Amino acid sequence: MDERQLKELMAGTESAPPRDAARERAISQAMNAFDAVQQEKQKKFQGSGLLGRLKDRLTDFKRRRSMTPRTLTQKYGFAGMATATAVLLAMVTYNTFDPYLGAEKSLPEPIVETPKAETKQAPAAEAQTPSIVFRGSPRKSEPKAKSDSSNISGLRRAGEDITAKTYQPPQAVVTTPRAAPPAMVAPSPAVRQRLSQRLEGKGAVKLPEATSGIRGLMGGSVVNPLLRDSVPNQYETSGRDQFENADQNPINLVAENPVSTFSVDVDTAAYSFMRRMLNRGVLPQKNAVRIEELINYFPYAYPKPATRERPFQSTVTVTPSPWKKGNKLIHIGIKGYDLHPVEKPRSNLVFLLDVSGSMNATDKLPLLVNSMKLLLDTLRDDDTVAIVVYAGAAGTVLEPTKVSEKHKILAALDQLRAGGSTAGAAGVRQAYALAERQFDKEAVNRVILATDGDFNIGITNREELKGFIERKRKTGIFLSVLGFGQGNLNDHLMQTLAQNGNGVAAHIDTLSEARKVLVEESSSTLFPIAKDVKIQVEFNPKSVAEYRLIGYETRALKREDFHNDKVDAGDIGAGHTVTAIYEITPVGGTNRLLEDSRYKSDESAAASNSPHSDEYAFLKIRYKLPKSEKSNSFTTAIIPADEGTGSSEVQWATAVAGFGQILKGGKYTGSFSYDDVLALAKTAKGEDEFGYRAEFLNLVRLARTASAMPRK
């Protein structure tokens, strides 16, 4: 008799209601079996790998399906249907049915002891999955590769120093996330809470939300099929940005301290970070605002030098101060020599890329990869590129490769995944070792470090890293640093490394910024035209009572450092522009903040009778050519003939300087406001080929309504 005939025979027959004792036994057996499976499953979760956990989920799902009345009827006929009917009737009676929990209310203690559920032996714990993985690995039927320098797994041992190891993947490891169990309806928050309470009540261990070992494989997080809508998809952190604490330059009395000395700065990281914060509706912290980097973010049409032998031309202008009546601003503009295409040397680059777990965000590793692709488009076919990555350890992903084989470089970039801690120091050592091995004295040899934060494995002392970079700089290998993301940014360390590596530090917050730094300004980013560039200004006490340098607080030098060729200073790339602004109070001015000393020095008196008594100041610039260790210098007198209203370039730099000072608290700008910045900048906008100046105007408007702290 088949199932159809059995149904026809039983049609109209009234089934006897199940007895209470039978019903209680059935429910108790079902619940104990459920709890036994859950407990055994949790034990296996503690040591099993990702594949084992997914298999358990799939088995659990099949078990649920097998408990439906239809399935039971198909498998076991009338007896199965009667049992399923009794179980469902009990659940409805007690109002306890839930697709994730089974039964929920207090039920009688089990009458019949349930035998232990049969379980498979838990598989051994999987080795920690590498944070950087490569496509095309052997299938699971093939033997696992050993953890050594020939495969990427060997690179993931936290703390292991494998500086000398090189990874050349014969085949790539599968990076596609493992398939999730069959689709399930996401439970409501109330159901999730009851499930958690039930598992905890039975002594079970909560499922992990994410672990660094498999974060890279899963693209950022481990998804619990029952709780997947509550697990974030990428690494998030905040409040850990680090900036050097530097007070604004004070006002100096010329009679006591007539000489100001500083290193040039062509970095732009502070501007990009400021823009990121304002676009979020938050004012940047004061230490994050470096006024000189805001000013130097923009290109200026200063006169160009004629030859590479004297690699820059200086332009000096004296204008009235817009924020303090009676004071004057001295603008010093420098324009670097711009190389012609035939003059550009070959590039020998090593990309040192941070792929730690904190890089798992859309504005970090994906943006980094796309930025490097943009840079590749600017290189020549005979240039070479190598790639070193670091997370829990460091390793070479791509040996030096000609750009003519761009497909290999692009393939290596596309295979990068984020996960693990940050062994940045090991990465720095390995990148320099690779650059030294491929050193070309006729080329530009440079390491480009791209990271979002700190180094937490290996050398973490800033001074130790600084000393290492300084020694490598003397070999002719320079270092540039690109920062990504926000919340974990160690700007102070980035600035230290870039300054001592004869390179630039930039913050990449958008692909447009990557294009600006790595495409439009690629020559100035890659090709130095002068190094150790220092500026010294001596003020005339007969003409100037007080002075103040706007910005450059972290670039201050001692007076004696100017003539000491052993003292490192900033570098200028091809086509770079540098602007410095001093605010001065002329002698006889009514806005002085410092009084003259009661006892004037003989030096001051002698200066009053000098033949140069009409000068405001005397400008000296010192520099070295890229391959020289001996300095050259030139000088310029700043005289009343330099006074005027200033060009649109000068006025624009003044507006940006005023904006930066307001962001830092407006200590010396009086009532000068954001509206005043807008009014001055609008008249000086001039040509704006790439829209940088229009964007600045919008940022000033955003600053007017931005909050002082992030909103919760």
> Binning pLDDT at 50, 70 and 90, where does residue 709 land?
confident
What is the C-alpha separation between 375 and 379, in angstroms, rounded? 7
**What single DSSP character describes residue 519?**
I
Which residue, 255, 113, 166, is CA-closest to 585? 255
Question: pLDDT value at position 543?
Answer: 94
**pLDDT over 50 (residue 596):** yes
Kindly report, residue by residue over 194-212, the tens digit of the pLDDT. Answer: 444 444 443 333 333 332 3
* Range scoring the smallest mean pLDDT among 3-12, 79-88, 170-179, 571-580: 170-179
Domains identified in the chain, total number = 3
pLDDT, mean over the chain: 75
The percent of residues above 70 in pLDDT, for the chain, comes to 63
Residue 151: inside a domain: no
Retrieve residue 604's tokens: 């001051």
Question: pLDDT value at position 688?
Answer: 92
Kindly report, residue by residue over 158-198, the tens digit of the pLDDT. Answer: 333 333 344 343 333 333 344 444 444 444 455 445 444 44
Question: pLDDT value at position 512?
Answer: 95
Backbone angles phi, psi at 441, to 5 degrees: -65, -15
Query: Do residue 387 and residue 479 come from a single domain?
Result: yes
- Distance of alpha carbon 710 from the chain centroid: 19
CATH of the domain at 263: 2.60.40.1230
Kindly report, residue by residue over 17-52, the tens digit of the pLDDT. Answer: 556 666 667 667 776 776 666 666 555 544 444 555
Distances from the Cα of 693 to the Cα of 351, 672, 683, 687, angstroms: 31, 20, 11, 9
Question: pLDDT value at position 259?
Answer: 97
What is the C-alpha separation between 522 and 516, in angstroms, rounded? 8
Residue 126: inside a domain: no
CB proximity list for 350: less than 8 A, separation 6 or greater: 385, 386, 387, 388, 431, 432, 434, 435, 446, 447, 448
* Range scoring the smallest mean pLDDT among 154-163, 219-228, 400-409: 219-228
User: Residue range 316-325: average pLDDT?
Assistant: 96
Domain end (from 492, 519, 546): 519
Sequential DSSP letters for 478-496: EEEEEEE-SSS-BHHHHHH
Distances from the Cα of 255 to the Cα of 30, 452, 543, 637, angstroms: 93, 46, 11, 19
Residue 492: inside a domain: yes
Comparison of pLDDT for 16 and 182, the residue scoring more: 16
**pLDDT over 60 (residue 110):** no
Question: pLDDT value at position 66?
Answer: 52
Comparison of pLDDT for 91 and 32, the residue scoring more: 32
Residue 195: inside a domain: no
Kindly report, residue by residue over 228-244, the tens digit of the pLDDT. Answer: 233 334 544 556 788 88
Question: pLDDT value at position 591?
Answer: 77
Residue 206: inside a domain: no
Query: Do residue 296 and residue 257 come from a single domain?
Result: yes
> Binning pLDDT at 50, 70 and 90, where does residue 139 land?
very low
Tell me which residue range forms the domain holding 63.
3-94
Kindly report, residue by residue over 476-523, the tens digit of the pLDDT. Answer: 999 999 999 887 788 888 888 898 898 999 999 999 999 999 999 988
What is the C-alpha separation between 337 and 340, in angstroms, rounded? 9
Please count the helices (runs of H) and the strands (runs of E) in the chain.
Answer: 19, 16
Query: Do residue 487 and residue 558 come from a single domain?
Result: no
Question: pLDDT value at position 290?
Answer: 96
Query: Do residue 330 and residue 287 come from a single domain?
Result: yes
Kindly report, residue by residue over 68-87, the tens digit of the pLDDT. Answer: 544 444 444 545 455 545 54
Residue 99: inside a domain: no
Question: pLDDT value at position 18?
Answer: 57
Query: Do residue 326 and residue 470 come from a single domain?
Result: no
**pLDDT over 80 (residue 453):** no
**pLDDT over 80 (residue 567):** yes
Query: Do residue 326 and residue 389 come from a single domain?
Result: no
Query: Do residue 316 and residue 366 come from a single domain?
Result: no
Question: pLDDT value at position 696?
Answer: 98
What is the C-alpha separation between 640 and 479, in angstroms, rounded? 41
Query: Do residue 616 and residue 497 come from a single domain?
Result: no
**pLDDT over 50 (residue 227):** no
Q: What is the pTM of this model?
A: 0.68
**pLDDT over 70 (residue 552):** yes
Query: Do residue 432 and residue 466 come from a single domain?
Result: yes
Domain end (from 42, 76, 94): 94
Retrieve residue 339's tokens: 């190389």
Domain end (from 478, 493, 519): 519
> Binning pLDDT at 50, 70 and 90, where does residue 452 land?
confident
Question: pLDDT value at position 319?
Answer: 97
Question: pLDDT value at position 145?
Answer: 38
**pLDDT over 80 (residue 248):** yes
Query: Do residue 354 and residue 297 come from a single domain?
Result: no
Residue 555: inside a domain: yes
User: Residue range 143-167: average pLDDT?
Assistant: 37
Query: Do residue 292 and residue 420 come from a single domain?
Result: no
> Binning pLDDT at 50, 70 and 90, where does residue 143 land?
very low
Query: Do residue 446 and residue 375 come from a single domain?
Result: yes
Question: pLDDT value at position 408?
Answer: 96
CATH of the domain at 382: 3.40.50.410
Residue 474: inside a domain: yes
Kindly report, residue by residue over 603-639, the tens digit of the pLDDT. Answer: 555 555 666 778 999 999 999 998 898 999 999 999 9
Phi-psi domain of 421 (left: phi exceeds 0; alpha: psi -120 through 50; beta: other)? beta
What is the C-alpha separation between 390 and 383, in angstroms, rounded? 24
